[in-house]
């Protein structure tokens, strides 16, 4: 599994429990999974572009299936 795929999986895991602002999600995933905030930001963008996560009223959350 590539670093990007690991970061994307970590983001999805975090969002299964609650919503996060971009900053809070980036910091939490970077801290918990020992990766850079820039890498997490790229993974957030990839998930958002793919429609896996949504950004509503300042918060990211998993997209409804």
The CA radius of gyration of the chain, in Å to the nearest whole number, is: 10
- pLDDT tens for 11-54 read 999 999 899 999 999 999 999 999 999 999 999 999 999 999 99
pLDDT at 2 over 80: yes
**Phi–psi pair at 23, nearest 5 degrees:** -60, -45
Q: How far apart are CA 28 and CA 49, in angstroms?
A: 21
> Could you tell me what percentage of the chain is helix, strand and coil, using 3-state DSSP and rounding each to the nearest 5?
65, 15, 25
Task: State phi, psi for 54 to the nearest 5 degrees.
Answer: -120, 160
pLDDT for the residue 50: 97
What the chain holds in terms of domains, given with CATH numbers, is 3-62 (1.10.10.10)
Does residue 65 surpass a pLDDT of 70? no
């Amino acid at each position: 599994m590539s670093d990007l795929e690991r970061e994307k999986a970590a983001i999805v895991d975090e969002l299964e429990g609650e919503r996060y602002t971009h900053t809070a999600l980036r910091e939490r995933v970077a801290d918990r999974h020992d990766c850079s905030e820039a890498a997490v930001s790229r993974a957030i963008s990839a998930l958002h572009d793919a429609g896996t996560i949504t950004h509503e009223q300042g918060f990211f959350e998993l997209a409804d299936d």
